């Protein structure tokens, strides 16, 4: 168990939205406290939990997350996260709530080849983010990555005209080579 206390000072040069709430331009000083709980990483089944409470600009924040993980074998690992965030701006009568969910799977074929997949959902943005990454390491200092990224609209009818199914899609190929001088 680890507890933290973090003072913050932030200047907001331009107002920004948090769901239906808005943080106005200004200078803000606030204090947040946190609590971290975690099982040892060496266990096959484990959990990480974090809770943060305190000030948030000119309001109050409560955020908590739970991340269970399951190491099926030295080759296969699963992890998930659920995060709940709420901020109250009582002086302005505004409230913000967001849920975030994440799923991750990793498979190591051997020490040179791996595959990982990641899926995230944000209730605030109402989008799903997908990422699949293949890595090939033919020798130390050389890596080939093939990555597929996709952003999917979870609520296509929130705007008119209706949003497309996929907001952004990309396939990226990257090769790194380390050489000696």
Query: What pTM, to 2 d.p., does this model score?
Result: 0.80
The pLDDT score that the predictor gives to residue 10 is 94
Regions in the chain scoring below 70 on pLDDT = 157
Return the pLDDT at 137: 94
Rounded Cα gap, residues 69 and 53, in angstroms:
25
Domain boundaries of the chain, sorted by first residue: 1-76+85-98, 109-181
In terms of C-beta distances under 8 Å and separation of at least 24 residues, what long-range contacts does 97-101 make, across chains too?
Answer: 97/19, 97/123, 98/18, 98/19, 98/122, 98/123, 98/124, 99/123, 100/65, 100/124
- The tens digit of pLDDT for each residue in 93-127 reads 999 999 999 999 999 999 999 999 999 999 988 88
- For residue 13, what pLDDT is reported? 96
State the pLDDT at residue 31: 95
């Amino acid at each position: 168990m680890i507890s933290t206390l973090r003072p913050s000072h932030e200047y907001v040069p331009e107002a920004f939205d948090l769901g239906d709430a808005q943080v106005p331009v200004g200078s803000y000083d606030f204090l947040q406290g946190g609590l971290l709980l975690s099982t040892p990483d060496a266990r096959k089944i484990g959990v990480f939990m974090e809770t943060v409470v305190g000030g948030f600009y000119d309001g109050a924040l409560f955020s908590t997350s739970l991340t269970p993980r399951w190491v099926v074998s030295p080759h296969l690992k699963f992890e998930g996260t659920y995060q709940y965030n709420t901020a109250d701006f009582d002086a302005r009568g505004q409230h913000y709530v967001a849920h975030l969910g994440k799923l991750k799977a990793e498979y190591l074929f051997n020490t040179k080849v791996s595959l990982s997949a990641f899926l995230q959902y944000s209730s605030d943005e109402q989008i799903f983010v997908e990422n699949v990454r293949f890595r090939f390491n033919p020798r130390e200092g050389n890596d080939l990555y093939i990555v597929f990224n996709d952003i999917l609209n979870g609520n296509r009818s929130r705007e008119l005209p209706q949003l497309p199914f996929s907001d952004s899609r990309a396939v990226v190929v990257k090769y790194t080579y380390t050489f000696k001088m």
